Amino acid sequence: MSFRSNSDGLRPTPSELIRPMLAEGALRLADGQRIAVLPGAFFPQLSVGLDQPSGDHVRHAVYKLGYEWALQDMVRLSRQLAAEFGAGANLDLWQMDVKFVLDRWWAPLNAAGWGAWTLDLSSRTRRFAFVELHHSLVAAHSPGATQPSCHLYAGLFAGALSFFDRIESHSVEFQCASLGAPSCRFVVGPGPQVDEVESWRQQKVAPDEIRRRLT
């Protein structure tokens, strides 16, 4: 595929990258991925809603948005990997290495500016996964937050692992860059234990201690 270059001679313009699908009311990239275009004020406004003491419904809605987004993304990735490896290979997503699949899923999100992740699956036998995220878009727009702000990411990570494991996992952020930490850290795993992590965080248990308790 080639793109005509715009005035700077280097990058394609948004109108060259994005295909409006008027019949279905959607915007898609050339590979069929559905996208949304948001105004620049979106994230600052979102951060205000997320940090309200009474904003549980906002935080939950944003988490669910991330969760559903990841499920749709994983369906698309599953088709893409099947096409790449070929039907003759008789290999579906669930027969592939979980880290390979999840890193493939996150790579385009990283390239799109959603941040760089490190995925730690060393506690998979206990159904825990840990994500360290640098350059969270949400945290970058949430200076002065009073609690972790990256509910969208927590939902994304929970959705992706839930899809792969075919059992619902929860995720919670137990360290956030919006509170001055160098990175955001999340745990993904069984609901009751992950919900307990949130109570530890509220009791101000240190992130490294939370990690240790789950090892």
| Contact call for residue 47 and Zn ion (CB under 5 A) | no
Scanning 31-134, the segments in alpha helix (DSSP H) are 42-50, 56-85, 98-109
**C-alpha distances in angstroms, 58 versus 62, 149, 151, 160?**
6, 11, 9, 21
> Is the separation of the CB atoms in 93 and 78 below 8 Å?
yes
Closer to Zn ion at the Cβ: 160 or 176?
176
**Nearest CB to Zn ion, comparing residues 63 and 101:** 63
Q: Does 81 bind Zn ion (CB under 5 A)?
A: no
* Interface pattern 153-182 for Zn ion (x via CB under 5 A): -----------------------x------
Contact predicate 47/139, CB 8 Å: no
Check residue 46 for interaction with Zn ion (CB under 5 A): no
Out of 47, 136, 162, 183, name the contact with Zn ion by CB under 5 A.
136
Q: Please work out the total of residues on this chain that contact Zn ion, with binding judged by CB under 5 A.
A: 5
Tell whether residue 137 is a contact of Zn ion (CB under 5 A).
no
Compute the distance between CA of residue 80 and CA of residue 55 in angstroms, rounded to an integer.
37
Binding of residue 150 to Zn ion (CB under 5 A): yes
- Cα–Cα distance between 184 and 182 in angstroms, integer? 7
Residues binding Zn ion (CB under 5 A): 136, 139, 150, 176, 184
